[in-house]
Amino acid sequence: MQSPFAFLANSINNHPKTVAAVVIGVILVMMFFASGVTMKTGTETYVDITSPSGSLIKHYEDTYSSDSVILMIEGDAVYMPQTLDYIQSLSEDIENEYQIVSVTSIIDLVDIYNGGVIPGSEVEIKSIVDQHKDVIPGAATTGAMTLMQVIVQPGLSDSASTAALNNIRSVVAAHNPPPGISVTVTGMAAFEDEMKTSLGSSTGMLIGLAMLLMVVAMAFLFGHVRYRFLPVLIVMMGVIVSFGMMGVTGTGLTMMVMAAFPVMIGIGIDYAIQFQTRFDEEVRKSSIEDAVFTTITQSGSAVAIAMVATSLGFIALTMSPFPMVTDFGVICVVGVLSCYLCALVIVPTFATLVKYRPLDPKPKKRGSGNQKSMMERYDVFLGKVAGWIADHPVGVLLLVGCVAMIGIPLDDRIVINTEEEAMVPPTMPAKVSMDKLGSAMGSMSTIPLMVRSDDIFEPDTLRWMYAFTEYEKQKHSEITGGTSIASILASMNGGILPQDREQIAALLKLVPEGTMSRYTAGQMEAVIEFSTEDLNLNSMKALLNEMREDLAWYETDPGTTGEFTGTMVLFGDMIDGIAESKSEMNMLGFGLIFAFLLLLYRKAAAIIPIIPIIMIVGWNAVIMYVLGLEYNILTATLGAMTIGVASEYTILIMERYDEERERGLSCRDAIQTSIQKIGTAITISGLTTVFGFSALTLSEFPIMANFGLVTVITVGFSLVGAILVMPAVLAVVSSIQDWLDARKHAKAC
pLDDT, tens digit (0-9, with 9 covering 90-100), for 72-131: 888 888 888 898 899 999 999 998 888 888 888 888 888 888 888 888 888 888 888 877
Contact residues for 479 (Cβ-Cβ < 8 A; gap 6+): 472, 473, 530, 531, 532, 543
Q: What is the pLDDT, as a whole number, of residue 137?
A: 63
> Would you say residue 30 has pLDDT above 90?
yes
Summarize the confidence of residues 130-154 as an average pLDDT: 72
Comparing 27-31, 178-182, 440-444, 717-721, which segment has the lowest mean pLDDT?
Answer: 440-444
> Would you say residue 45 has pLDDT above 50?
yes
> Would you say residue 203 has pLDDT above 70?
no
| Residue 143 DSSP code | S
Whole-number Å distance between alpha carbons of 275 and 292: 10
Cβ proximity of 461 and 455 under 8 Å? yes
Contact residues for 412 (Cβ-Cβ < 8 A; gap 6+): none
Q: What is the pLDDT, as a whole number, of residue 361?
A: 65
> Would you say residue 428 has pLDDT above 50?
yes
Kind plus residue range of the DSSP H or E element containing 529: strand 525-532
State in words which class domain 67-193 has: alpha beta
> Would you say residue 492 has pLDDT above 80?
yes
Highest-scoring range by mean pLDDT, 340-344, 553-557, 593-597: 340-344
Q: Give exposure, 422-449, as e/b (b: 16+ Cβ within 10 Å).
A: bbbbeebebbebbebbeebbbbbbbbbb
Cβ proximity of 537 and 572 under 8 Å? yes
- Left if phi > 0, otherwise alpha if psi is -120 to 50, otherwise beta: which for 628? left
- Among 161, 164, 242, 148, CA closest to 203: 242
Whole-number Å distance between alpha carbons of 71 and 221: 54
Q: What angle, rounded to 10 degrees, do the helices at 726-748 and 667-693 form? A: 150
Q: What is the pLDDT, as a whole number, of residue 1?
A: 47
Comparing 212-216, 292-296, 419-423, 623-627, which segment has the lowest mean pLDDT?
Answer: 419-423
Highest-scoring range by mean pLDDT, 252-256, 306-310, 333-337: 333-337
Question: How many other CB atoms sit within 10 Å of the CB of residue 136?
Answer: 26
Whole-number Å distance between alpha carbons of 66 and 627: 36
Q: What is the pLDDT, as a whole number, of residue 221?
A: 74
Whole-number Å distance between alpha carbons of 315 and 638: 13
Cβ proximity of 192 and 41 under 8 Å? yes
On average, the pLDDT of the chain sits at: 83
Q: What is each CA distance from 212 to 270, 561, 599, 711, in whole angstroms?
A: 16, 57, 40, 18
The alpha-helical segments, DSSP class H, found in 76-187 are 81-95, 106-113, 122-132, 158-174
**pTM, to two decimals:** 0.74
> Would you say residue 687 has pLDDT above 70?
yes
Report angle CA 660, 664, 669 to the nearest 5 degrees: 60
Summarize the confidence of residues 407-415 as an average pLDDT: 84
> Would you say residue 674 has pLDDT above 80?
yes
Summarize the confidence of residues 8-15 as an average pLDDT: 93
Q: For the chain, what is the largest distance between any 2 Cα atoms, rounded to a whole number of angstroms?
A: 114
Cβ proximity of 615 and 719 under 8 Å? no
Summarize the confidence of residues 345-372 as an average pLDDT: 76
Q: How confident is the model at residue 509 (pLDDT cuts 50, 70, 90)?
A: confident
With pLDDT > 70 as the criterion, what percentage of the chain qualifies? 92
Q: What is the pLDDT, as a whole number, of residue 32?
A: 92
SS in 3 state form for 40-51? Answer: CCCHHHCCCCCC
> Would you say residue 371 has pLDDT above 70?
no
Q: How confident is the model at residue 749 (pLDDT cuts 50, 70, 90)?
A: low
> Would you say residue 400 has pLDDT above 80?
yes
Q: What is the pLDDT, as a whole number, of residue 164?
A: 86
Cβ proximity of 64 and 449 under 8 Å? no
For the chain, give every residue range classified as CATH 3.30.70. Answer: 67-193
Question: How many other CB atoms sit within 10 Å of the CB of residue 66?
Answer: 23
Task: Give the CATH architecture of domain 4-39+222-419+573-748.
Answer: Up-down Bundle (1.20)
Summarize the confidence of residues 641-661 as an average pLDDT: 83
Whole-number Å distance between alpha carbons of 414 and 410: 7
Contact residues for 31 (Cβ-Cβ < 8 A; gap 6+): 240, 244
For the chain, give every residue range classified as CATH 1.20.1640.10. Answer: 4-39+222-419+573-748
> Would you say residue 262 has pLDDT above 80?
no
Whole-number Å distance between alpha carbons of 13 and 15: 6
Summarize the confidence of residues 554-560 as an average pLDDT: 80
Summarize the confidence of residues 316-337 as an average pLDDT: 86
**Which has more pLDDT, 275 or 66?**
275
